[in-house]
Amino acid sequence: MKEQTLILNSLPIDPLTGSISTPIYQTSTFVQDAPGVHKGFDYSRSNNPTRKVLEDCIAKLENGHAGFAFASGLAAIDAVIKLLEAGDEIIAVDDIYGGAFRLFTHVYQKFGIKINYVDSTNSQNVADAVTDKTKLIWIESPTNPTLKVSDIRTIAKTARQHNIILCVDNTFASPVSQKPIDFGADIIVHSATKYIAGHSDLIAGLVVTSTPELSEKIKFIQNASGAILGPFDSWLVIRGIETLNLRVKQHAENAQKIAEYLLEEKLVKNVYYPGLPSHHNHEIAKSQQKYFGGVIAFDLVIDDKELASQIVSGTKLFKLAESLGGVKSLCCLPCEMTHKSIPAEKRYGSGVTDSLIRLSVGLEDADDLIADLKQAIEAAVKANADKTAVTA
Ligand SMILES: *Cc1c(COP(=O)(O)O)cnc(C)c1O
């Protein structure tokens, strides 16, 4: 079955009423026939019919065993970390999402969990970092904001060899373009806030497990810690998923055109987009992603924060905001926004220079988006004629 059919076919018709849209079961509790005798639902923290439709759907889309919906991407990540015990070690991608870094380092380190950050675009770095205490390998692919890609198949082999859980944060790719469980990953997490819900109207997270054992453990943690997604937001995510395939395809098509335009733009130095043959990890990306996503980052030949800041303030279609994956295009200046808390030295090391601009390419027409960037760049160049003379 093709992806778009699979998506629509994995959302059931309500068995009770025939409602074609999943009903929102906005309830905390369920009336029982006799003590302990009920229809499979007793309390909405443990299980809720609307949430269950979403959970079953994401499990299918990721070829997993079970899915779990959480109140945010970080709550989903938090549930996976709770599989560990004091003394355990994590090997994590060094370009990790800032919020995951904060959670690992500033919350879990004090409970005795050690984190070793490595550049996982070289799979050997992961293999070399394994110790007898390593219990979890954590990668994101592609990463934020410079779209580094790790070889999931090779890292999965290392994980399997040492009996380590491999978790992939699949937020940037979405299940439509990449299915890490097919490559040997054990767990997938998503910030469903981004592409999966896709309309910049909620915060949500998902976990997909690959085995009954892991499913049982995550189910226990989800119920024990309680950071579940509510019925209404579950319904909104379901509604978003209905068009996920179409959106991701169009995001990628638009982004490819914009990335190619940026390559030609004189003021632009590096363009980071896995769909460009010049991208460091283009070959690996091609081998594991169906689409290359909607996020692009680029920096300027003059590494000037003011200049970059005027560009992101001067766009009209690209709205200046954090986050990504929505239908409306967004832009941001990571050094002042998403990556402000990272020390400049570390930031520069991962390519997040003062002039690096991140785009989340939306579903407006690509030509209009290109024209918007052009006018913003031209205006910024004019306003900074003294600095930009070299590019004239
Ligand atoms: C946004 C994001 C998260 C965190 O998700 P929230 O829904 O904001 O809690 C985690 N990982 C990646 C890659 C993200 O982009």
Q: Provide the residue-wise pLDDT of the chain in tens; the chain has 392 residues.
A: 899 999 999 899 999 999 999 999 999 999 999 999 999 999 999 999 999 999 999 999 999 999 999 999 999 999 999 999 999 999 999 989 999 999 999 999 999 999 999 999 999 999 999 999 999 999 999 999 999 999 999 999 999 999 999 999 999 999 999 999 999 999 999 999 999 999 999 999 999 999 999 999 999 999 999 999 999 999 999 999 999 999 999 999 999 999 999 999 999 999 999 999 999 999 999 999 999 999 999 999 999 999 999 999 999 999 999 999 999 999 999 999 988 877 888 888 889 999 999 999 999 999 999 999 999 999 999 998 888 775 65
Which residue has the least CA distance to atom 6 on ligand 1? 73
Q: Are 359 and 297 in contact (CB under 8 A)?
A: yes
Q: In what order do the strands lie in the sheet with 295-300?
A: 268-272, 295-300, 357-360, 330-332, 319-320
Which residues are designated catalytic?
45, 97, 169, 194
**C-beta of 194 in contact with ligand 1 (< 6 A):** yes
Atom of ligand 1 nearest to the CA of 324: 15
Nearest of 355, 253, 227 to residue 301 by alpha carbon: 355
3-state secondary structure of 93: strand
Domains and CATH numbers, the chain: 3-241 (3.40.640.10), 246-391 (3.90.1150.10)
Q: What is the pLDDT of residue 347?
A: 86
C-beta separation of 276 from 241 below 8 A: no
Would you say the CB of residue 145 lies under 6 angstroms from ligand 1?
Answer: no
Q: Is the CB of 74 under 6 A from ligand 1?
A: yes
- The values of phi and psi at residue 358, to 5°, are -110, 135
Q: Residue 384 C-alpha to ligand 1 middle, in angstroms?
A: 35
Decide the pairing of beta strands 205-209 and 66-70: antiparallel
Please give the backbone phi and psi of residue 102, each rounded to the nearest 5 degrees, phi first: -60, -45
Whether the CB of 351 sits within 6 Å of ligand 1:
no
Model-level pTM? 0.97
Q: Where are the beta strands (DSSP E) in 198-352?
A: 205-209, 268-272, 295-300, 319-320, 330-332
Residue nearest (by alpha carbon) to ligand 1 atom 2:
191
Contacts (Cβ under 8 Å, ≥6 apart) of 106:
none
Q: Among residues 173, 147, 194, which one has the least CA distance to residue 322?
A: 194
Tell me, what's the pLDDT at 345?
86
Considering the chain, what percentage of its residues have pLDDT values greater than 70?
99
d(C-alpha 185, C-alpha 189), whole Å: 11
Establish whether residue 193 lines the binding site of ligand 1, counting it when its CB lies within 6 angstroms of any ligand atom.
Answer: yes
Mutate which of 144, 170, 171, 236 for ligand 1? The one with the most ligand atoms within 8 Å of its CB, which is 171
The helix or strand, by DSSP H or E, that contains position 90, with its residue range, turns out to be strand 89-93
- Locus of tokens 């006799």: 34
Q: Which helix (H) or strand (E) holds 313?
A: helix 305-314
Tell me what pLDDT residue 387 has.
83
Beta-bridged to residue 187, according to DSSP, are 167, 209
- Given a contact cutoff of 8 angstroms between Cβ atoms, the answer to whether 297 and 356 are in contact is yes
Please report, for the chain, how many H helices and E strands are present, in that order: 15, 12
| CA 340 and chain centroid, separation | 19
pLDDT of residue 158: 98
Ligand 1 probe mutation, 191, 196, 233, 360, most atoms within 8 A of CB? 191
